[in-house]
Amino acid sequence: MRILIAEDDEVLADGLCQAMTHSGYAVDCVKDGHAAKVILSGEQPFDLVILDVGLPKVDGFSVLRSLRESNRQVPVIILTARDAEGDRVKGLDLGADDYMIKPFSLPELEARVRALIRRGQCGVNPVYSCGMLTFDSVGRRAAINGTTLELTTREMSVLEALMLRTGWVVSKEQLLERLYSYAEEASSNAIEVYIHRLRKKIEPAGVTIRTIRGLGYVIDNMPAQSS
Ligand code: CA
């Protein structure tokens, strides 16, 4: 699950970014409306956008308008000031799915994020699979033949990153970005530890995580045993 946060208040943006990363989402953060438009018109699809209305360069309404005009249905939560009822009405009219009034509580925002992502998944299969291993990205549950795997939050994030790109290489840097906020000390040794633990846990599914030297990791079915 990828989330874009467009917010120019650095303290708020950092807090949001850390909270969402901690919840296991892959988070991109931009600080002005122009950057938001550029990243939203790129190839990387987002599952949700948290959009401040008062952004520099291009305001949040213009970002939202061009997003909807290009027929992108990604759920959007706008962030507005307390005394700006007109902004909320305008935002909803332009196609926002929900709004939060600043200052807001993080747990409430996170609950709304989960609700919108669930709604966005209606009719779409949010479960990724590789061999007998399945990963439910909304319920945040990995299972082998229906039996839930016991995973830590970080093991879950690593597995999700790999499962979203089954058969494709995910670099160590991508895994590090996903696992650690800027404030934390990122250790690439830690990634190796998570990969090692995951390999053992998913082995019964006939699935393995291969190391592609110099590039990263790829999750794939184990090659058939030659007899
Ligand atoms: Ca602002």
Q: What is the CATH number of the domain that holds 166?
A: 1.10.10.10
Asked if 193 contacts 184 with a C-beta cutoff of 8 angstroms, the reply is no
Cα of 99 from ligand 1 centre, angstroms: 14
Specify the pTM. 0.61
Per residue of the chain (227 residues), what is the pLDDT tens digit?
789 999 999 999 999 999 998 887 888 999 999 999 999 998 777 889 999 999 999 999 999 999 999 888 899 999 998 778 899 999 999 999 999 999 999 999 999 998 888 776 654 556 888 989 999 877 788 999 989 999 988 899 899 889 988 888 999 888 887 776 544 566 778 899 999 999 999 999 999 999 999 899 999 988 766 54
Same-domain status, 133 and 93: no
Burial 142-176 (b: 16+ CB within 10 A, else e): bbbeeeebebeebbbbbbbbbbbebeeebebebbe
The residues, any chain, with a CB within 8 Å of residue 152's CB and separated by 6 or more, are none
Q: CATH code at 15? A: 3.40.50.2300
149 shares a domain with 101: no
| Locus of tokens 């550029």 | 38
CA nearest 78: which of 176, 184, 5? Answer: 5
Q: Tell me, yes or no, whether 101 lies in a domain.
A: yes
Q: Which of 120, 139, 162 is the last residue of a domain?
A: 120
User: pLDDT tens-digit profile of 55-74?
Assistant: 999 999 999 999 999 888 89
Last residue of a domain, one of 120, 152, 172: 120
The domain of 181 spans 127-220
Q: Which two tokens stand for residue 171?
A: 């670099």
Using the structure block, give the residue that is written with the tokens 């190391």: 211
Question: How many beta carbons lie within 10 A of that of residue 98, not counting itself?
Answer: 19
Q: Tell me the C-alpha distance between 40 and 23, whole Å.
A: 22
3-state helix, strand, coil in the chain (%, to 5): 40, 20, 35
Ligand 1 center to 210 CA (angstroms)? 43
189 and 107, same structural domain?
no
Contact (Cβ atoms closer than 8 angstroms) between residue 134 and residue 143:
yes
Centre of ligand 1 from the C-alpha of residue 223, in Å:
52
Q: How far is the CA of 52 from the centre of ligand 1 (A)?
A: 6
The CA 86 to ligand 1 mean position distance, Å, reads 16
- Asked if residue 226 is part of any domain, the answer here is no
If one counts the domains in the chain, the total is 2
Q: What is the Å distance from ligand 1's center to 107 Cα?
A: 21
- The alpha carbon of 57 and the centre of ligand 1 are apart by a number of angstroms equal to 11
Torsional class of 163: left (φ above 0), alpha (ψ -120 to 50), beta (otherwise): alpha
Whether 227 is in a domain gets the answer no
Asked whether residue 54 falls in the same domain as residue 107, the answer is yes
Ion ligand 1: residues, CB within 5 A, are 8, 52, 54
> Do 139 and 95 belong to one domain?
no
Residue 57 in domain: yes
pLDDT at 182: 46
Identify the domain boundary among 78, 98, 120: 120
Residues 101 and 139 in one domain: no
